[in-house]
């Protein structure tokens, strides 16, 4: 990616990769695809691509009124990006001119610059009015169907509204959260997270360089909160990257081992720990091969479908198709069983996934209890003032959904449960 590329050109590249190559945005960013851009341009490119993916169904509905047939993907994505901007109040002259220039710059697309110009001038005229009449974009059927079976159509509609609204920026303070909220003009959430209405360039926010906070959705803070780490306890963060929960545990005074099998992802953990001046032992290893401990407590944020994070990662429904569900579900079960072998007698295991699928949450715990009869779910660990009683699930865990805390800006979808063994085992 050339440093001379504009944010719009880079956003089209991201759309091409997600919609054409089915690559996740996080994968693109971790492969340093945008590293040559200035931080502000990188942030804008990501925002443009993310907003386009979030509104893709509406965008395509607006465009199809002005297209006889679907154009090649590159041209289609240029049109999509421009339509999103135009329907969101972007300057028509600048948006259309840039889209035409991007089309003209490609040898395979330059012959379509007239089409792009004509279509976007119609969109600029009628698009904003059409936009507001269209339904909230829906999840693709491969995901909507199992979620509707689990929650019902009314709840899925609320979840889709939350997805379309997007996600604010949540920060976890290393020190005084109330002071951080005042410093950044943010809102202090019931769990202690600081919520900012708009994100922008994260690294430009006050306190970033000095490590006063880290980015972490409010829902993602709860697994470490219910684990209740104590100073001096030996705790394993079993799938640690990118390190938010590791930093929470370390800030409590616990002796933390952060485990992950990706050297690239663990580099981010190392950088985050260095920035926040927190300490943890880093271990790059397959979680199922780990033989450390025994530990007082283990936090297992297991690999999952990540379907609970769509409001901030709208690329996911377009880059995935659900084919990995069974593999992930089997892996989660194996990780639970292995984690139990690493615990001290009387130790506690927090199992969590950022998934909306019960098979990756409630069902996992029910099956773990069947496989290991001496296990029980510690419901008392969930008695916190910031945990709504509506979040409690029948088997003893927590089910968080994007439509919860809607008046505050929502939450990522998560499942969390605390497991213990009976003391005579």
Q: Could you tell me if 275 and 215 are in contact, meaning their C-beta atoms sit under 8 angstroms apart?
A: no
- CATH (one of 1.10.940.10, 3.40.50.10680, 1.20.1260.10, 1.20.1250.20) for 7-133: 1.10.940.10
pLDDT in tens, 306-331: 999 999 999 999 999 999 999 999 99
On average, the pLDDT of the chain sits at 94
**CATH 3.40.50.150 domain range(s) in the chain:** 217-421
pLDDT of residue 424: 63
* pLDDT band, very low/low/confident/very high, at 351 (cuts 50, 70, 90): very high
What is the 8-class DSSP label of residue 110? G
pLDDT in tens, 275-312: 999 999 999 999 999 999 899 999 999 999 999 999 99
Q: Could you tell me if 295 and 343 are in contact, meaning their C-beta atoms sit under 8 angstroms apart?
A: yes
- In whole angstroms, give the CA distance from residue 281 to residue 246: 10
- In whole angstroms, give the CA distance from residue 84 to residue 68: 20
Least confident range from 3-12, 70-79, 171-180, 246-255: namely 3-12
Question: Mean pLDDT over residues 163-190, rounded?
Answer: 96
Residue that is written with structure tokens 């360089």 in the block: 209
- In whole angstroms, give the CA distance from residue 146 to residue 186: 36
- Residue 163 phi/psi, 5-degree rounding, is -60, -45
- CATH (one of 3.40.50.720, 3.40.50.150, 3.20.20.70, 1.10.3720.10) for 217-421: 3.40.50.150
Question: Mean pLDDT over residues 113-142, rounded?
Answer: 95
pLDDT in tens, 20-41: 999 999 889 888 778 888 888 9
pLDDT in tens, 352-375: 999 999 999 999 999 999 999 999
**CATH 1.10.940.10 domain range(s) in the chain:** 7-133
pLDDT of residue 267: 92
* pLDDT band, very low/low/confident/very high, at 199 (cuts 50, 70, 90): low
Catalytic machinery residues:
354
**% residues pLDDT > 90 (the chain):** 90
pLDDT of residue 52: 98
Higher pLDDT, 63 or 3: 63
Residue that is written with structure tokens 């695809």 in the block: 33
pLDDT of residue 423: 66
pLDDT in tens, 253-266: 999 999 999 998 89
Higher pLDDT, 4 or 29: 29
pLDDT of residue 1: 46
- In whole angstroms, give the CA distance from residue 14 to residue 31: 13
C-beta neighbour count of 408 within 10 angstroms = 14
pTM: 0.93
Question: Mean pLDDT over residues 182-205, rounded?
Answer: 90
* pLDDT band, very low/low/confident/very high, at 3 (cuts 50, 70, 90): very low
**Among residues 237, 323, 252, which one has the least CA distance to residue 283?**
237
Give yes or no for residue 2 having a pLDDT over 60. Answer: no
Burial 195-219, CB ≥16 within 10 A → b, else e? bbeebeeeeebeebeebbbbbbbbb
């Amino acid at each position: 990616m050339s440093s001379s590329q504009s944010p719009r050109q880079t956003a089209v590249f991201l759309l091409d990769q997600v919609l054409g190559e089915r690559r996740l945005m996080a994968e693109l960013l971790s492969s340093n695809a945008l590293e040559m851009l200035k931080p502000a341009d990188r942030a804008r490119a990501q925002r443009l691509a993310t907003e386009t993916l979030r509104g893709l169904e509406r965008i395509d509905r607006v465009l199809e009124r002005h297209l006889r047939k679907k154009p090649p993907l590159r041209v289609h994505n240029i049109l999509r990006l421009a339509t999103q901007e135009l329907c969101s109040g972007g300057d028509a002259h600048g948006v259309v001119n840039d889209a035409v220039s991007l089309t003209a710059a490609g040898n395979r697309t330059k012959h379509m610059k007239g089409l792009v110009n004509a279509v976007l001038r119609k969109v600029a005229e009628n698009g904003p009015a059409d936009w507001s009449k269209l339904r909230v974009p829906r999840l693709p059927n491969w995901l909507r169907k199992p979620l509707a079976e689990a929650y019902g159509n009314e709840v899925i509609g609320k979840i889709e509204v939350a997805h379309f609204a997007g996600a604010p920026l949540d920060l976890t303070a290393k020190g005084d959260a109330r002071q951080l909220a005042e410093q950044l003009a943010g809102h202090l959430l019931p769990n202690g997270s600081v919520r900012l209405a708009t994100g922008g360039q994260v690294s430009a926010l006050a306190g970033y360089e000095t490590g006063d906070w880290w980015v972490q959705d409010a829902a993602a803070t709860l697994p470490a909160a219910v684990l209740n780490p104590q100073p001096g306890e030996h705790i394993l963060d079993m799938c640690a990257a990118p390190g938010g929960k590791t930093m929470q545990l370390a800030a409590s005074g616990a002796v933390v081992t952060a485990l992950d099998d990706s050297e690239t992802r663990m580099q981010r953990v190392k950088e985050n720990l260095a920035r926040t001046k927190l300490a943890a032992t880093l271990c790059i290893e397959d979680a199922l091969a780990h033989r450390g401990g025994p530990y007082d407590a283990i936090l297992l944020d297991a690999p999952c479908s990540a379907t609970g994070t769509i409001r901030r990662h709208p690329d996911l429904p377009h880059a995935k198709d659900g084919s990995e569900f069974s593999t992930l579900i089997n892996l989660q079960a194996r990780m639970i069983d292995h984690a139990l072998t690493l615990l001290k007698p009387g130790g506690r295991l927090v199992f969590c996934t950022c998934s909306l699928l019960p098979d990756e949450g409630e069902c996992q715990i029910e099956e773990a209890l069947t496989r290991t009869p001496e296990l029980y779910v510690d419901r008392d660990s969930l008695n916190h003032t910031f945990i709504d009683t509506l979040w409690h699930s029948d088997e003893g865990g927590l089910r968080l959904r994007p439509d919860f805390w809607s008046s505050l800006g929502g939450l990522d979808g998560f499942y969390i449960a605390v497991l213990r063994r009976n003391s005579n085992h």
